[in-house]
């Protein structure tokens, strides 16, 4: 079955570790992962990985995408350089295309007003509170939260972040989704057999 690509935002200081579980297993499930940067120029992650974006953010269209993933980055809290990515998230959500934001990207979405009327999470509630956003009462103390097409998670929850993405896109569900999470979050060896059986029959 042909699927629209998943767009992974990349920008200087993006957090390498936050999206690897999601993008790796989305690719295994048949999704093309397309990186989108502020421009076509290379960017560097926090870990120093140099990435050449496949396209510029301005060229990303919700109608041509299955999902926009926004990783955390130091730049989210250092000024307005990444504000265009938050505006692109609004464009996606307005078009009914999901967005997944983790760590500092949640603060960017808070500043954009996208968390004011959705349940959400982040690193801690007071991290978002300093943005002055209006959604404090909708903050949920959970590993990851999905509400009306928007997934949020804190920086220590890349596995739960991926779990919510897989659930939303229908990559895994039920017993298989639970097994995937138990394997990568809890190192539960018994979960591997469930995944192996699902892959063999799928």
Active site residues: 103
**Angle, vertex CA 23, rays to CA 17 and CA 25, nearest 5:** 115
Distance CA 24, CA 43 (A): 20
Please, which residues have CB within 8 angstroms of residue 76's CB and are 6 or more apart in sequence? 82, 103, 104, 105, 107, 108
147 membership: H or E segment, kind and range? strand 144-147
How distant, in Å, are the alpha carbons of 52, 70, 71, 125, 183 from that of 36?
A: 9, 10, 12, 29, 30
| Helix residue ranges per DSSP H, 40-96 | 83-94
Hey, is 91 helix, strand or coil? helix
- Taking the CA atoms of 171, 200, 158 and 74 in sequence, report the sign of the dihedral they define: negative
Distance CA 163, CA 7 (A): 17
């Amino acid at each position: 079955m042909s699927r629209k690509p998943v767009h992974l935002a990349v920008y200087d200081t993006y957090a390498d570790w936050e999206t690897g579980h999601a993008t790796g297993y989305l690719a295994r499930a048949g999704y093309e992962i397309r990186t989108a940067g502020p421009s076509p120029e290379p960017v560097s992650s926090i870990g120093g990985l140099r990435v050449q974006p496949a396209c510029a953010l301005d060229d990303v269209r919700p109608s041509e995408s299955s999902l926009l993933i926004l990783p955390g980055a130091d730049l989210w809290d250092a000024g307005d350089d990444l504000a265009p990515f938050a505006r692109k998230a609004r464009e996606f959500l307005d078009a009914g295309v999901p967005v997944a934001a983790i760590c500092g990207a949640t603060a960017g979405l808070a500043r954009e007003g996208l968390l004011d009327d959705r349940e959400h999470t982040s690193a801690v509630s007071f991290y978002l509170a300093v943005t002055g956003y209006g959604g404090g009462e909708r903050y949920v103390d959970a590993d990851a939260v999905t509400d009306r097409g928007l997934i949020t998670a804190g920086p220590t929850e890349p596995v739960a972040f991926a779990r919510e993405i897989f659930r939303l896109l229908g990559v895994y569900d039920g017993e298989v989704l639970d097994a995937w999470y138990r394997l990568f979050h809890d190192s539960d060896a018994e979960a591997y057999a469930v995944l192996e059986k699902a892959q063999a029959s799928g």
